Amino acid sequence: MTRSVTGVKKSLFPTEKSAEDIKKEAAINSKPEQAAVSAAKKGTPKSPTGRKNWISIGLRFLIITITFGVFVVAIPTQFRDLAEVTQAFVKSTNFTIESNSSLDIGNVKKNPELRKDANGKTNVMLVGVDTRYVVARGGGTLRNTDSLMVATYDHKTHRVGLISFPRDIIANFPNTPSYMKINAIYATGESRSKGSGLESIKQTLENMSGLKIQYYAMVDLKGFMTVIDLLGGIDVYVERSFTDYQYPTDNYRWRTVSFTQGWAHMNGDTALAFSRSRHSQQAGEGSDFARARRQQKVIQGVIDQALKQETLQNPKKIFEILNAIAGSIQVNQLTPEDVEAALAILTAKGKPEIFNVVLDPTVANKKLLQVGGYGTGYTITTIGGVKNTGPMRQFLTDFSNEPTIVNDVTIPVYNGKSGSFTSKYRNLTGRFFYMKLYNAGTTEEYQGDTVFNHGGAQYERVSKFIAATMGMTYQEVTDESIRAPRPNGVPVVIVLGK
């Protein structure tokens, strides 16, 4: 099961550098720019269209959320007229102002709230495109949307789950019998009815994920590099060294990009290359799934850099960033009340804790997705067939409710002299098919079914989630006086008792 690095809560206005920041700066300053980019090679890739892999939608999500949230919240008092900021920015983008909403701040209702689903979550769909190639060829061509993400925010816990969908997954086009790669849904929708592409993707992701989407946006690459450059670059940790000899350029050629393990300070162009590269033959970095994980690292870098005090207290820089992305986003179903509600959350709670999941064939204990299974060429399909979306909906709904389910933990399940162990075990492993559960044999007699947490705070939430879902008792094992099975080095144990 795949779990990416999670965010750590920090003060919205840090006043001093942490030990981690000092260590990071030392690592970066001890060596030159990590991402060396060689001159473009002569020659043209065999399949230029196939090499156009666009920037992560996650990055665009951060551009949007940071802009509406962190930057505006942090503007000093003399610049913090919400009406001025909202009107200037909303008017420069493709917003849909709904019902009787007005850009007049006087019409914004008191204490507005973001829209939520039935479970109290706010879900945002983000779609990424790159229009530079359309411009290079004279325009007029619809491009596939190769980056798709759903961000789910839990208002109670102040946690965000970021879900990256593979561009090659086979999905149903809404209200038709047609199936296709998900990155073709937007173009197909637009070809059927201009302006319906985003709604088509929204319905597709709702049907696949089981999450009701309240907001959605599409952003192209134009403003991305500028934003990072205006931030002064970002700091990113490169997990593994790799080189890509076929990184595509704007003129349908290629160049070589290389990245060295360790902390790197990246400008916009370098961060873009790090996010988009997928042709390396080294360290498993040549897949779309590796690329998605790198994109999530860049997201974290943008957040961290945007939250630094020197950025937040520079109104000139804030408005430069607003102007840089104004022409690069299309947002629907957003009102001034939504903007103010988002600002209020960031003001009151600061930076949320962030969890990431990339939907690849290794996720969910390898029981969710598979390579192939539909047509010819490279595809990703749900195990059991393209129509079998139930397991994915269950997994992503659970991730939205408790993102720590992506903890890569193996859980032994003991028979505590239960007369119905077989049926209980079958129900447990069926419900949590995406977890690594195994029959650990018989132990001494226990009354009832219990989830024992030996791992402390790190495993508390996932243990409680299992217990609550299955109607079990949760027990934290704090000392030797608590009766519980104690296999060496195992953080979570389940006993199915009498």
CB 399 within 8 A of CB 357: yes
* CA atoms 217, 220, 223, 224: torsion sign: positive
CA distance 476 to 484: 10
Q: Is residue 258 predicted with pLDDT exceeding 50?
A: yes
- Bigger pLDDT: 118 vs 30: 118
pLDDT in tens, 343-358: 788 778 877 888 989 9
- Bigger pLDDT: 28 vs 322: 322
- Bigger pLDDT: 324 vs 238: 238
Residue type, 336: P
pLDDT in tens, 32-72: 444 444 333 333 344 333 333 333 333 334 444 434 333 33
CB 134 within 8 A of CB 99: no
pLDDT in tens, 220-249: 666 677 788 888 899 999 999 999 999 988
Question: Helix (H, G, I), strand (E, B), or coil: what is residue 219?
Answer: strand
Q: Can you give the pLDDT at residue 147?
A: 78
Residue 160's beta-bridge partner residues?
153, 354
**CB-based burial label for 305 (10 Å; 0-12, 13-18, 19+):** buried
In DSSP notation, 406-435 reads: G---EEEEEEEB-TTHHHHHHHHHHHTTTS
* Yes or no: domain 409-497 corresponds to CATH 3.10.180.10: no
pTM for the predicted model, two decimal places: 0.74
pLDDT in tens, 149-205: 899 999 999 999 989 998 899 999 999 999 999 999 998 998 999 888 999 999 999
CB 66 within 8 A of CB 159: no
- The domain segmentation of the chain, as residue ranges, is 19-403, 409-497
In DSSP notation, 111-171 reads: S------TTSEEEEEEEE---HHHHHTTS-------EEEEEEEETTTTEEEEEEEPTTBEE
3-state percent helix, strand, coil for the chain, nearest multiple of 5: 35, 20, 40
Query: Across all residues in the chain, what is the average pLDDT?
Result: 77
CB 93 within 8 A of CB 330: yes
Between the CA of residue 411 and those of 356, 452, 485, what are the distances in Å? 22, 10, 12
- Bigger pLDDT: 143 vs 216: 216
In DSSP notation, 278-309 reads: ----STTTTSHHHHHHHHHHHHHHHHHHHTSH
Distance of CA 455 to the CA centre of its chain: 26
CB 204 within 8 A of CB 210: no
> What's the token pair of residue 397?
């709904």
Question: What's the number of CA atoms in the CB half-sphere (13 Å) around residue 2?
Answer: 19
Q: Would you place residue 297 in the very low, low, confident or very high pLDDT band (cuts 50, 70, 90)? A: confident
Task: Please state the rounded mean pLDDT for residues 65-93.
Answer: 39
pLDDT in tens, 392-435: 999 999 999 999 998 789 999 999 999 999 999 999 999 999 99
CA distance 115 to 124: 10
Task: Please state the rounded mean pLDDT for residues 101-108.
Answer: 48
> Is the backbone of residue 412 left (phi > 0), alpha (psi -120 to 50) or beta?
beta
CB 57 within 8 A of CB 148: yes
CA distance 143 to 297: 26
Residue 451's beta-bridge partner residues?
474, 494
Spelled out in words, what is the top-level CATH class assigned to the domain 19-403?
alpha beta
Helix (H) or strand (E) holding 470: helix 457-470
